[in-house]
Amino acid sequence: MALEVKLPELGDGIAAGDVLEVLVTEGTSVTKDQGLVEFETDKATVTVPSPGAGRIAKILVSKGQSVPVGSVIAILEPAGVAAAAAPAPAKPSPAPAAPAPVAAAPAPVAPPPVAAAPVAPVTPKPAPPPVAAPVAPAPAKPMTPPPAAPQVQVAAEAGVDSGAIAAGPAVRRFAREVGVDLSQVSGSGDGGRITREDILAVVRRASQTVRSSAPVGNPTSPAGTGSTGSAASASGNTQSDDYGPIRVEKMAKIRKTIANQMHKSWSTVPRVTNFDDADVTELEAFRQSSKDDYAARGIKLTTMPFLIKAVATALRHHPLLNATVDMENDQIIYKEYINVGIAVDTDRGLVVPTLKGADRMSIPDIAKALGDMSVRVRNGDFGVNDLRGGSFTISNLGAIGGTYSTPIVNIPEVAILLVGRSRKLPVVMDDDSIVARLMMPLSLSYDHRLVDGGAAARFLNDIIGYLEAPSRLLLAI
């Protein structure tokens, strides 16, 4: 019996998902848990797997379509059903095929009109007996083409979407976002597997081609036809305004979600930002002396695990910054858990996965979890639940560059800490000597409806205190 494959629950408050890519075609065989359709939600992509082995009888969604949760997206014929149906066309040898056509007796009478046989049996009912006869002498010929035809079609379509192309989900997603057709890319990885670098090479070549041909092609091609085949034209609608060529792209769902959240935060949260510096000279010396031990265990020790631990520990002593304000019900909701969201810059936009129970984790645990999280997020290998449940957010601008900023609060949280790039500055010490010290810039934005300046300053001072005395951080309770 055929199975209906439905779009499962995608997370709290998510009622629908947009089809990013259909990974299979009708008529193809699939294995259990093989990806069928890839959906995009607010900040994550979700692949719906096959509930079992079998054959895809029908695909009911298409790329770009918005599909409500619970809707049927495909019809699957289980392996048993498909196997029962498959032997019939496979076994038609000499004699067993004869019973299929009812008129087996007149077979010798009409061998010549074999060519007309395949067309007539479909429609006529009374007249077909003489015409149906030709099917008996050559059952293998009419029966063989139908299976072959879908296979040819699948192969043709597989050039872009199917598993025939050796590329991982993250690479496929990246190719879609930059507008590169994977069937036109030569893989340099193991066994011809396509890598991210292969796609970037295609984009670079396309950009060079567009630059060199733009002055000639654009005036004569109002819709951008002069740049056909480039990554730029593939990923958007190339047009021209009064001043020159432009490219129009549909806003991705994740970017739309970020835009809506930022607008909501900006228009509802009266935000104030405190700026300060932490002297991390001793912390850096401590990190440098320990990083080789971590590297031997496959863990990259950066400054972030120390910062996360400092923030999580400080939040235990300043619960107001780990709370949520509910203006509709005149309530303050204090979170008894400490889940720190880490803003990660990806090709798809800003994603904030959550490190749950950060206050109960050791520095090594945080360093390992942070490394795993970064890899999964950049590869797109994360679920909606990985992005939910945060109570405070840290944004690391220093990994890219920059010092201070005014981060926007990630509502419904009430505060966010942005860390800039550490740099050496002259510092006046207690004995009035001036010494070069490594200073980490910190920017704390908070919701002034709930958090006053004094509470924010005390919280930030605690964080600075932990960072400036690593031993105190390791012994903190």
pLDDT tens-digit profile of 302-345?
999 999 999 999 999 999 999 999 998 999 999 999 999 998 87
Which pLDDT tens digit goes with each residue over 178-198?
778 888 888 888 778 888 888
Identify the residue whose tokens are 């792209």. 249
**Residue 122 included in any domain:** no
Q: Is residue 48 scored above 90 in pLDDT?
A: no
Q: Are residues 228 and 311 in the same domain?
A: no
Q: Is residue 275 scored above 90 in pLDDT?
A: yes
- Helices (H) and strands (E) in the chain — how many of each? 14, 20
Q: Is residue 291 scored above 70 in pLDDT?
A: yes
Among residues 263, 317, 318, 448, the one annotated as catalytic is 448
Q: What pLDDT does 157 receive?
A: 37
Q: What is the mean pLDDT of the chain?
A: 77
CATH of the domain at 58: 2.40.50.100
Give me 384's structure tokens. 């909606």
Give me 301's structure tokens. 């020790």
Last residue within a domain, chosen from 111, 144, 162 = 162
Q: How far apart are CA 188 and CA 194, in angstroms?
A: 6
Q: Are residues 14 and 30 in the same domain?
A: yes
**Residue 36 included in any domain:** yes
Q: Are residues 357 and 302 in the same domain?
A: yes
Which pLDDT tens digit goes with each residue over 7-28?
887 765 677 888 888 888 888 8
Query: What's the average model confidence in pLDDT over 230-249?
Result: 70
Q: How far apart are CA 406 and CA 58, in angstroms?
A: 51
Q: Are residues 318 and 348 in the same domain?
A: yes
Alpha helices in 118-252 (DSSP H): 128-132, 140-143, 145-158, 169-178, 196-220, 231-235
CATH of the domain at 202: 4.10.320.10
Give me 25's structure tokens. 């075609």
Residue 400's nearest CA partner among 419, 372, 415 is 419
**Residue 228 included in any domain:** yes
**Residue 123 included in any domain:** no
Q: What pLDDT does 230 receive?
A: 43
Q: Are residues 20 and 149 in the same domain?
A: yes
Q: How far apart are CA 389 and CA 11, in angstroms?
A: 12
Least confident of 79-93, 152-166, 387-401: 152-166
Query: What's the average model confidence in pLDDT over 142-146?
Result: 44
Q: Are residues 155 and 201 in the same domain?
A: no
Domain count, the chain: 3
Q: Is residue 112 scored above 70 in pLDDT?
A: no
Query: What's the average model confidence in pLDDT over 418-441?
Result: 94
Q: What pLDDT does 156 receive?
A: 35
Which pLDDT tens digit goes with each residue over 62-95?
888 888 888 999 999 887 665 555 454 554 444 4
Q: What pLDDT does 231 receive?
A: 45
CATH of the domain at 438: 3.30.559.10
Q: How far apart are CA 422 and CA 277, in angstroms?
A: 9
Query: What's the average model confidence in pLDDT over 161-186?
Result: 72
Which residues neighbour 151 within 8 Å (Cβ) at sequence distance 6 or greater? 27
Q: What pLDDT does 237 receive?
A: 67
Query: What's the average model confidence in pLDDT over 341-359?
Result: 84
Q: What pLDDT does 3 receive?
A: 87
Q: Are residues 298 and 367 in the same domain?
A: yes
- Asked whether 459 and 314 are in contact (CB, 8 A), the reply is yes
**Residue 125 included in any domain:** no
- 448 counts as catalytic: yes
Residue 424: in which H helix or E strand, if any? strand 423-428
Top pLDDT among 208 and 92 is at 208
Q: Are residues 146 and 171 in the same domain?
A: no
Q: What pLDDT does 462 receive?
A: 95
Q: Are residues 369 and 406 in the same domain?
A: yes
Q: Are residues 319 and 459 in the same domain?
A: yes
User: Range of 427's domain?
Assistant: 270-475
Q: Are residues 21 and 5 in the same domain?
A: yes
Which pLDDT tens digit goes with each residue over 94-107?
444 444 444 444 44
Percent of the chain with pLDDT over 70: 73
**Residue 35 included in any domain:** yes
Q: Is residue 5 scored above 60 in pLDDT?
A: yes
Q: Are residues 154 and 208 in the same domain?
A: no
Local confidence band at 375 (pLDDT 50, 70, 90 cut-offs) = confident
**Residue 430 included in any domain:** yes
Alpha helices in 195-319 (DSSP H): 196-220, 231-235, 253-268, 281-296, 304-317
Q: What pLDDT does 42 receive?
A: 64
Percent of the chain with pLDDT over 90: 31
